[in-house]
A and B are shown apart, each in its own frame.
Chain A
Amino acid sequence: MLYAILCYHSEAVVGGWSKAQDDAVMEKLDVVHQKLAAEGRLGPVARLLPTSAATTLRKDSDPPLVLDGPFAETKEQLLGFYIVDCDDLDQALEIARDLGRANPGGAYELRPIGVFHTGVLPADAGQ
């Protein structure tokens, strides 16, 4: 079974860490990552940039509405995510609109990724 582990924390607290504090946390996490990778269990890992860099596409209206900032509603739940490689935000929005046409309703939050590792999982992992 594949599991996604979603990371939550106060952005103002984490954003307030000094570079030394941040590096120390990442170093400790990396020890865990390496162990998981050696066991063949580690899939993609991403550290997202701050929510101030986020854009939200509301796809419950037609045409979908582009809003600055993160997805802020509490009446909907996180059901899945994509990672796509884009030249810029416009291209990412184009992809999100395509996906939204296939599956209207709800919203997509587009958040740039700051740190990304592909992990070691084979294509048939979890099956």
Chain B
Amino acid sequence: MSDLAWIDGALAAARPQAMAALLRYFRDLDIAEEAFQEASLRALRNWPEKGPPRDPTAWLIFVGRNAALDGVRRKAREAPLPQEVLISDLEDAEADLVERLDGADYRDDVLRLLFICCHPDLPATQQIALALRIVCGLSVAEIARAFLVGESAMEQRITRAKAKVAKAGTPFETPGAVERAERLAGVAAMIYLLFNEGYSASGGEAPLRSGLCDEAIRLGRLLLRLFPAEAEIMGLTALMLLQHARAQARFDADGAIILMEDQDRTHWNGRMIAEGLALIDKAIRHRQPGPYQIQAAIAALHARSPRAEDTDWPQIAGLYQALEHHMPSPVVTLNRAVAVSKIEGPAAALDLIEPLAGRLDAYFHFHGVRGAMLLKLERKAEAREAFDRAIALARTPAEAAHIRQHIDRLQAEAGQT
């Protein structure tokens, strides 16, 4: 790797911490971003000659802060600004800079930076785009590519999100325990949204978008370094690792979906699975089960099965039942029905599925699963109807193609008789 590539890596690694500290100083996202950008430019000029500093994050915060202060002062000379507001927190900043970097309250800075992206007024896609831009440091062009939209549309989306966040006001006081827990829960949900944005991509788009999963996992690990004893954050990170471990096996060469039971498990990523399993082991010791941990435990049971037929379905069905208790949802019940079908057969599963019809009528997977159960029970006409409904609701070509296989098989059988 060349020197410049090393610097890129160091800048990306330092970004969340440095941006979080700069945001605390300046209390303004745009100034914090400009400060970090200026510090990064100076790093690119200085580090190749003088070598990297001992603590790149502290260097970037210090240099960025001074550069932005110069800018604020210059503007103040040209046209008086309400600079009291801008630099109210600066007097004692320099002295405790290094201490803060190691201090316990420092983690609240990073949490705050992530938390402002989760503002409830922002639609999910804007939350994710904002986090990718200001926390992960992806360029607008990169984010636009990942969301499959034009660059100017994405630029607008991010600008609007920033304006909303600025108007809402950022909570700068140190959070209490309850508030911290609430922020963590909001941030965890946003990170999982980001992950799913990448994970739900279909075959052809998958390589473009799997970078979103990597970023989400990176944020999960970052949160864990700051909050090492949070069982649900361990669960969330484990869940993402265990799901993403299957990425290479989920689609065939033509981009068609390969169901988990048909996947080549030697293509699953062993190192990610090992990390995910280790995190679940840690989480379980806390005896505070939550939705992320339970979903991770389900993913772990799949990951631990060398072959599809070794899957521990009774335990998976039990875990889905626990998940229904923590997070009641017809989608969770639908998933439990799939597990039940493996233990007790399609009729028992269908008994669980039918009562969900009202709430899941517009849900692709509901009709797909229902059709598959009806097919197993040889109720072909009803199965055909369910599959037709599923195709109409498919969100990606790969989903539609997958259901079409069932229909083709039904038609082929009908042709033979």
Q: Give the interface of A toward B (CB within 8 A).
A: 10-13, 15-18, 21, 24-25, 49-53, 55, 66-69, 88-90, 112, 114-115
Contact = CB atoms under 8 A, between A and B. Distances in A.
A23 to B, nearest CB: 12
Interface string B255-283: 00000000000000001001100110110
The list of the 4 closest CB pairs from A to B, nearest first, reads: A69-B228, A12-B13, A89-B281, A52-B224
Given A49-B271, A52-B224, A68-B228, A12 B279 contact: no
Given A16-B9, A17-B9, A115 B271 contact: yes
Contacts of A53: 275, 278-279, 282
19 contacts: A10-B13, A10-B56, A11-B225, A12-B14, A13-B10, A16-B9, A18-B214, A50-B221, A51-B225, A52-B228, A52-B279, A53-B279, A67-B228, A67-B229, A88-B281, A89-B282, A112-B275, A112-B278, A114-B275
Of B6, B13, B14, B237, which is in contact with the most chain A CB atoms at under 10 Å from its CB? B13
A92 B228 CA distance: 19
Contact of A66 (B12, B222, B285): B285
Given A15-B218, A66-B285, A90-B281, A49 B275 contact: yes
Contacts of B1: 21, 24-25
A52 B225 contact: yes
Nearest to A92: B281
Contact of A52 (B14, B237, B281): B237
Contacts of B9: 13, 16-17
Nearest to A87: B281
A28 B222 CA distance: 28
Residue in B1, B56, B228, B275 with the greatest tally of chain A CB atoms within 10 Å = B228
A114 B229 contact: no
Contacts of B285: 66, 89-90
**Contact residues on B (Cβ < 8 Å of other chain), bracket:** 20 to 34
Contacts of B221: 15, 50, 52
A66 B274 CA distance: 21
Contacts of A25: 1
Contacts of A51: 225
Contacts of A15: 13, 218, 221
Contacts of A18: 214
A88 B6 CA distance: 36
Contacts of A11: 225
Given A16-B218, A52-B237, 14 more contacts: A12-B222, A13-B6, A13-B13, A15-B221, A50-B221, A51-B225, A66-B285, A67-B229, A68-B282, A69-B228, A89-B285, A114-B271, A114-B274, A115-B271
A114 to B, nearest CB: 5
Nearest to B233: A52
Which of A16, A24, A114, A115: most chain B Cβ within 10 A?
A16
Nearest to A53: B278
A32 to B, nearest CB: 16
Contacts of B234: 68
A67 to B, nearest CB: 8
A53 B237 CA distance: 10
Nearest to B279: A53
A75 to B, nearest CB: 14
A66 B285 CA distance: 10
Nearest to B222: A12
Contacts of A50: 221, 275
Nearest to B286: A68
Nearest to A72: B228
A12 B17 CA distance: 11
A112 B274 contact: yes
Nearest to A49: B275
Nearest to B228: A69
A94 B221 CA distance: 26
Nearest to B276: A53
B282 A55 contact: yes
B30 to A, nearest CB: 25
